[in-house]
Amino acid sequence: MVKVGIIGCGKIAQVRHIPEYLDNPNAKLTGLYDLNLQRAKELAEKYDCKSYESVEEMLADPEIDAVSVCVANHVHAEITIAALKAGKHVLCEKPMATKLKDCQMMVDTAEQMSKKLMIGQNQRFAKAHAEAKKLIERGDIGSVLTFKTTFGHGGPETWSVDAGPQNWFFDKKRAAMGAMADLGVHKTDLIQYLLNDTVEETTAKVTTLDKKDSNGNLIGVDDNSICIYKMKSGIIGTMTASWTYYGEEDNSTIIYGTEGMLKIYHDPKYCIELIRKDGGKVFYDIDQIQTNDNQTKSGIIDAFVESVENDTEPAVPGKSVLSAMKAIFGSLKSSELGRTVRVDEEELE
């Protein structure tokens, strides 16, 4: 039985971490902490567990085996490293951290302490993505040439537990990045997973077009990011992250190969469309991607609990996300410099 504490009781904790731990027979939700102590107390009473006055108090509790880190981006690294040093296994929400050196330090600390570090890149667990990966590896669309992957919705201000323009996602000090950190990390990690490849170069435009704070000024983080990625294999494609898709969400990926194409979560009826070079089509009805309005079980929490319970490698180990984070920070640098950036450039440090 894995006894779990959750640090940060915002929306992602309430719709994913808490219910999914409660649903797992090998996990016991043991404690909660939030900067809003009253929120933590109320949720602890609701779910019959303990609330803590501080992160330090939770990490000092020998009853806690593992923690979910569900706080604002700027303290992901600090809290994750403290938890690992306290002997806890960690599931950290994305983005992994706000600086590349902090991401690396998280991985190094997990290895030093012999503890699990898993990152919440849940798109790897979507059933259509897993199936598409098999189709690509089997060669059903030939050799991959290009791709376009997109994640856009109307923004976090309606979804956050503290709704409105004052939500922490819009605060540069706490979020560091906007749509890129919220959505771009998902699709960057996904394309690397699907293609079994890594981003080598990025040419990006990371900008703020529409989102405004409570004073009517443009927010200090990006609401749109468009990146051209060149993979190590030579494949090129685009990754788009946006908070200004006001009509409906787009969480699709299209892979173009020498013998056809795969459209993933592109059609509302079929999660995968395989369109062959000769015009033949195969449709897959496996599942539909979850949206902000339709949260389904992610698989992340079950995989984390299983890795701790059975002492196995996490399904999304921290070290496997480092390359995606390099692409994110490289894209920010590319936009800032106005040129293509290799993601391993020393200046990214």
How would you label 148-184 residue by residue, b for 16+ Cβ within 10 Å and e otherwise?
ebbbbbbbbbebbbeeebebbbbbeebbbbbbbbbbb
pLDDT of residue 346: 66
Question: How far is residue 285's CA from residue 195's CA, in Å, rounded to a whole number?
Answer: 22
- What interhelical angle do 318-337 and 100-113 show, nearest 10? 170
pLDDT of residue 228: 98
Dump pLDDT digits (tens) for 24-39: 999 999 999 999 999 9
Task: Say if residue 151's pLDDT is above 90.
Answer: yes
**% of the chain with per-residue pLDDT over 90:** 89
The pLDDT of 124-139, averaged and rounded, is 97
pLDDT of residue 263: 98
Contact status, residue 176 vs residue 73, Cβ threshold 8 Å: yes
Dump pLDDT digits (tens) for 47-95: 999 999 999 999 999 999 999 999 999 999 999 999 999 999 999 999 9
Return the percent helix, strand and coil in the chain, to nearest 5. 40, 25, 40
Question: How far is residue 56's CA from residue 39's CA, in Å, rounded to a whole number?
Answer: 18
The pLDDT of 226-253, averaged and rounded, is 97
- Tell me the domains of the chain and their CATH numbers: 2-121+301-312 (3.40.50.720), 123-297+324-348 (3.30.360.10)
Average pLDDT, the chain: 94
pLDDT of residue 160: 67
Q: How far is CA 16 from CA 6, 75, 342, in A?
A: 11, 20, 35
First to last CA, the chain: 40
Using only C-alpha atoms, the chain has a radius of gyration, in whole angstroms, of 20
Residue 214: pLDDT band with limits 50, 70, 90 = confident
pLDDT of residue 141: 98
pLDDT of residue 162: 67
More confident residue, 161 or 168: 168
Task: Say if residue 293's pLDDT is above 60.
Answer: no
pLDDT of residue 298: 82
